[in-house]
């Protein structure tokens, strides 16, 4: 079974089962076990906020940082994925590590990110920077579970904050969680994701590397996870995702549900609307396992995935960039949905 194909299904199902709604400064938990409540996560409807809070960064519309003229880079016009990409509901970059590790970390220079997630008509996309884990059957090696954990920035709240998204928790359900702790746009952060403490347990720690202090932390469960790293494969992910009102259906109109969305058409629908998350600089990405610590370089990387890639011919301009730098421990990602950059 294709692990990355299963992760696409995970994104659809997990986001439909639970939500944590951030609205005008307070949070309301929507319990997944309630059959009487229609569950919605923040990224499913960009019109759920009547007066979206827009950050100073979006108001100032800081100029984008130019791409290095001499840099070695991949784009969706030049790179073809070696297999199916797991994150395909918006421009995205995913780096899949080889299995066998039980901890991962990366430093993200959030203060240097230039971004605009709000369209002129008030609709928005959501931005993600996260680590994640694919969990496989110890004997058969096939995919059985996965989760994402890191930072999300909803176009309606205007602040980075911690989240996690679990396909199957220890009690058999799915889980979606967002923290109420808002992170500073002008600080940088380290993500540390640890599955070594106990079977079935994961801990995400967000460290403010500008101040050296812990900014946020959460623990959660994941079914079938072994803490020795024997059935876990980590990944890095950077993405812009479309809410339902920016997902285009087969009829060419917005408002499609996940299963009915035409993803290339969705990108084209929101192209040249000023949307981008640009100059995402990763530093000091590392993996940890039974044999010690490793720099997250090409020797421990299973695959690089871009969405779209060059096989998606409907997207006729470069919107997803990877500037190699030191792959994949220190490099840059640009997600820019504008033809004239």
Q: How are beta strands 143-153 and 126-136 bridged, if at all?
A: antiparallel
pLDDT value of residue 269:
97
Residue 86 pLDDT level (bands cut at 50, 70, 90): confident
Give the pLDDT score at 10.
Answer: 53
Tell me the DSSP string of 192-236. Answer: EEE--SSTTEEEEEEEETTTTEEEEEEEEE-TT--TTSTTEEEEE
Please give the average per-residue pLDDT across 105-119, as a whole number: 96
| Residue 219 belongs to some domain of the structure | yes
Position 104 in a domain: yes
**Number of DSSP helices (H) and strands (E) in the chain, helices first:** 3, 19
Average pLDDT over residues 153-160: 83
**Within a domain: 80:** yes
Task: Provide the β-strand partners of residue 303.
Answer: 96
In a domain, 341, yes or no: no
| CA 282 – CA 260 distance, rounded (Å) | 34
- Given a cut of 70, whether residue 310 has pLDDT beyond it is yes
Please check whether residue 149 lies inside any domain of the structure: yes
* Residue 3, CA distances (Å) to 30, 76, 277, 332 in order: 29, 21, 27, 25
CATH number of the domain encompassing residue 69: 2.60.120.1270
pLDDT in tens, 317-328: 999 999 999 999
Do residues 134 and 141 lie in contact, with contact meaning Cβ atoms separated by under 8 Å?
Answer: no
Q: Are strands 92-97 and 232-241 parallel, antiparallel or unpaired?
A: antiparallel
> Residues 332, 100: contact at Cβ < 8 Å?
no
Is 245 domain-assigned?
yes
In a domain, 26, yes or no: yes
Mean pLDDT confidence for 76-102: 93
Whole-number Å distance between alpha carbons of 135 and 127: 24
- pLDDT tens per residue, range 93-103: 999 999 999 99
196-238 per-position pLDDT tens digit: 999 999 999 999 999 999 999 999 999 999 999 999 999 999 9
Say yes or no to pLDDT of 62 above 90. no
The rounded radius of gyration (Å) of the Cα atoms in the chain is: 19
* 84 pLDDT tier (thresholds 50, 70, 90): confident
How many angstroms separate the CA atoms of 155 and 116, rounded?
Answer: 9
Q: What angle do CA 320, 182, 66 make, to 5 degrees?
A: 30
More confident residue, 330 or 50: 330
**323 lies in some domain:** yes
User: Cα(279)–Cα(110) distance, rounded to whole angstroms?
Assistant: 9
Number of domains comprising the chain: 1
Q: How many angstroms separate the CA atoms of 260 and 273, rounded?
A: 23
Scan for tokens 């930072």, then name that residue: 151
Confidence of residue 74 (pLDDT cuts 50, 70, 90): very high
Instruction: For residue 33, name the pLDDT band (cuts at 50, 70, 90).
Output: very low
pLDDT above 70 (res 157): no
What pLDDT sits at residue 32? 25
The percent of residues in the chain predicted with pLDDT above 90, rounded, is 76
Domain limits for position 177: 3-36+45-336
Q: Give the pLDDT score at 44.
A: 56
pLDDT at 148: 98
273-288 pLDDT per residue, tens: 999 999 999 999 999 9
DSSP letter string, 91-138: SEEEEEEPS--SEEEEEE-GGG-EEE-B-TTS-B-EEEEEEEEEEE-T
Quick: pLDDT tens for 175-198: 999 999 999 999 999 999 999 999
Prediction pTM value = 0.86
pLDDT exceeds cutoff 70 at 312: yes
pLDDT digits (tens, 9 = 90+) for 288-303: 999 999 999 999 999 9
Share of the chain above pLDDT 70, in %: 81
For residues 70 and 291, the answer to whether their CB atoms sit within 8 Å is no
Q: Is 141 or 35 the better-scoring residue by pLDDT?
A: 141
């Amino acid at each position: 079974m294709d692990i990355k194909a299963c992760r696409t299904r995970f994104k659809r199902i997990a986001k439909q089962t639970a939500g944590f709604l951030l609205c005008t400064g307070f949070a309301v938990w929507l319990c997944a076990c309630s059959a009487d409540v229609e569950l919605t996560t923040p990224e499913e409807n960009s019109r759920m906020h009547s007066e979206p809070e827009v950050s100073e960064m979006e108001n100032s519309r800081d100029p984008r940082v130019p791409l290095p003229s001499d840099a070695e880079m991949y784009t969706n016009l030049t790179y073809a994925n070696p297999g199916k990409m797991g994150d395909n509901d918006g421009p995205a970059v995913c780096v899949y590590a080889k299995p066998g590790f039980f901890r991962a970390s990366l430093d993200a220079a959030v203060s240097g990110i230039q971004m605009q997630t709000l369209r002129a008509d008030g609709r928005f996309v959501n931005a993600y920077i996260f680590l994640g884990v694919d969990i496989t059957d110890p004997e058969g090696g096939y995919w059985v579970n996965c989760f994402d954990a890191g930072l999300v920035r909803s176009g309606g709240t205007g602040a980075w904050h911690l989240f996690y998204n679990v396909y199957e928790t220890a009690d058999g359900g799915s889980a979606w969680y967002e923290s109420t702790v808002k992170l500073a746009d002008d600080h940088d952060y380290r993500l540390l994701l640890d599955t070594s403490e106990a079977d079935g347990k994961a801990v995400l720690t967000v460290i403010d590397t500008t101040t050296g202090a812990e900014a946020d932390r959460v623990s959660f469960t994941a079914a079938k996870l072994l803490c020795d790293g024997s059935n876990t494969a980590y990944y890095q992910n950077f993405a812009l995702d479309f809410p339902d009102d920016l997902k285009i259906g087969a009829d060419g109109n917005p408002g499609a549900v996940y299963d009915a969305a035409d993803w290339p058409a969705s990108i084209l629908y929101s192209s040249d609307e000023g949307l981008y998350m640009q100059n995402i600089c990763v530093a000091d990405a590392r993996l940890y396992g039974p044999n010690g610590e490793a720099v997250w370089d090409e020797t421990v990387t299973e695959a690089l995935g871009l969405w779209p890639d060059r096989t998606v011919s409907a997207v006729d301009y470069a919107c997803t960039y990877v500037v190699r730098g030191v792959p994949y421990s220190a490099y840059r990602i640009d997600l820019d949905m504008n033809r004239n950059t």
